[in-house]
Structure 1
């Protein structure tokens, strides 16, 4: 039987389209084959969290101390002593402090006046005759208050005149208040000087100022010269 071609059927009509489609399919399969990867089976959760299979944790050693047993209770005495209830208790007699109205009244001449201890210092504000700073002699006629005011004024004037700030204290920035206490002796000299301040250099300067005090007229109590304490502060302040 002789084969005949159908003039209406052209097999080369879409040849180019089929070639391009086949080439594209081959390239796609080649790309997929190259990019395909395989992975081992593993626990991705543990790997992502960096969890080791075995976790070793150091447990601190706890040492337990057993407290010593409590001491045994005291043993009760076997012999019970019976105290005699007939013991005599001495009563305390409280004498009254009220004066006896029948007692004789003493005359003024019979009362002994206690002698003043001359060695006992009399406070500056309580002494009868205030010590006189040189230059305050005229104030004595005006009374004790005027003499005290003049004494204080002359003391401040003496401190201002002789005051020198220690150089070492200036360099170190030391300042503060030095409390001074001294006693005006029976002969008018200054003694028993005591100082208290924030630094030794300031105390030394305050002592130098007190050493330059002149001799004073001593204070008197009932006409007798007595010791009189006096205190004053000196302020050291940097400008």
Structure 2
């Protein structure tokens, strides 16, 4: 049996790789051409017209012209003739400025009232201490003043009943001024309880009128401080 023989130049499988490459190249070229293909459409006339209208609406403003009405006619002015005024007599205003004919008055005596200055000095710095009644003839009037103040307190002090009931005791610091007329004024005090302060104020109020102290030859207010001690036996 005889076998069929194929010619070498007619064998398709011999160049199959080349044919496959050529086919793939053609397919890729067709795909690229299809993707890059551009189609241009002409714009219709109505769209162009609409764009022109839009530009006109934006750029051309609407202006309204207003005519101002004419002013109303002015009424004619009526001129009235006033009657003649009677004769006016002008008054002469004389000047008060001095001149050569002005009489110069002689100055009169001016009395200056001397205002006495209030001088307030503490008792340790006063030139002449106030004189307590009974110390007029004392050699050391300051020591006599201190002695008579202590005697006055001891003679007039009364221990308050309420302070005794509440067992209240302590020292009340008092300060007052012996005025220029010798009377007691501006009393201040500070103590442990109001009931003791009230009793101390009563004692100070009973002080007699004194001869006022003097400083630089003039009556002066004298500040005096004195503690009063309340102690139950």
Q: Which has the larger radius of gyration?
A: 2
